[in-house]
Amino acid sequence: MRAVAVEVKTTNGHTDLCFADGKPDKPRQAGGVAVIGEFALYSTDAEGLRQASLTGGTALHAPDVALMPAARERTAVVSKVDYGEKKLWLDKAWQTPSLKGRVMEIGTAGAAGAPGHWTTYTIEKSQAEGARTTLIVQSGADYYRSHVEEVEPEKGLVWCGIAKAGTSGLNAGWVATNDDATKAWRATYQGGKRGDTRYGFELTGGPVRLEDFGEARAMRLWEYGVGDTVRQSTFASLRRLAPGLYELTADTDLAVALKAASLELSTDQAAWRKLTVRQAGGLAECRLTVQDFGPSGKVYLRVK
């Protein structure tokens, strides 16, 4: 969780400052660079600024560049799922360029002091649906399926014929359903004793009866479900392409500043428009919205 920075000097003349912090809301200073974020890179060479990148943060300040994203992360809550289609409905819209290939975290926090259940998925497709966003992920959420041997309704206990595999510390926060996922609960694995032929799960979130599991009498565990939080770190990265020409990729509104009298923006390096800037700390600062980046999430900046 502690902040760490390392400077690397390469044989081809780069000086890279690499930074990481498990407490990304805290201001940190590493050499001449100030960072508030999860990960950062500041790279220079004989021509000056080569690259500056920030992930999960709100500020990177160096003598010749500044990146200031509007937010360090985006979050939402899962309001609906279709496990067969690997599809999730979020309770809000994510204003961002294409999310294809991006990674997200999904899960639920545990009780006070207890670990939650979190996992990571790669997004295959995102789509706006009114005031919400839907996501299709690359991998399925199915984790476990077993025959139900017995149910103790008064205790919310379900006894199954197969043990849950995996790390023993990841026993809480699972989503349990019947075989066709028409009924759902939260599940905590209780385990079984050596020599047992059945294994217990405590289900919460509603009554549970043997008949809830239908003719198949099967219970499933899923990696995520309705009510889980979806989290994704924002990012911004500025890379020099040629003297005075930079490529900027980002997935959130942000302010960016460079040493310049003025700045111009283009989406194709053919048509350029002058940006409104303010001079601050020896840098020309402009503000961009996620709409400026378009579906590609990429624009070009030219220093004048």
**Least confidently predicted of 77-81, 138-142, 197-201, 236-240:** 197-201
Read off the pLDDT of residues 138-187 as tens digits, 9 standing for 90 and up: 999 999 999 999 999 999 999 999 999 876 668 889 999 999 999 999 99
3 state SS for the chain: CCCEEEEEECCCCCEEEEEECCCCCCCEEECCEEEECCEEEEEEECCEEEEEEEECCCEEEECCEEEEECCCEEEEEEEEEECCCCEEEECCCCCCCCCCCCEEEEEECCCCCCCCEEEEEEEEEEEEECCEEEEEECCCCEEEEEEEEEEECCCCEEEECCCCCCCCCCCCCEEEEECCCCCEEEEEEEECCCCCCCEEEEEECCCCCHHHHCCCCEEEEECCCCCCEEEEECEEEEEEEECCEEEEEECCCEEEEECCCCEEEECCCCCCEECCCEEECCEEEEEECHHHHCCCCEEEEEEC
Last residue of a domain, one of 174, 201, 222: 222
Last residue of a domain, one of 179, 194, 222: 222
Let me know if residue 229 belongs to a domain: no
Domain that holds residue 109: 73-139
Let me know if residue 227 belongs to a domain: no
Overall pTM surpassing 0.85 (yes/no): yes
Task: Provide the domain count of the chain.
Answer: 3
Read off the pLDDT of residues 73-113 as tens digits, 9 standing for 90 and up: 999 999 999 999 999 999 999 989 889 999 999 999 766 66
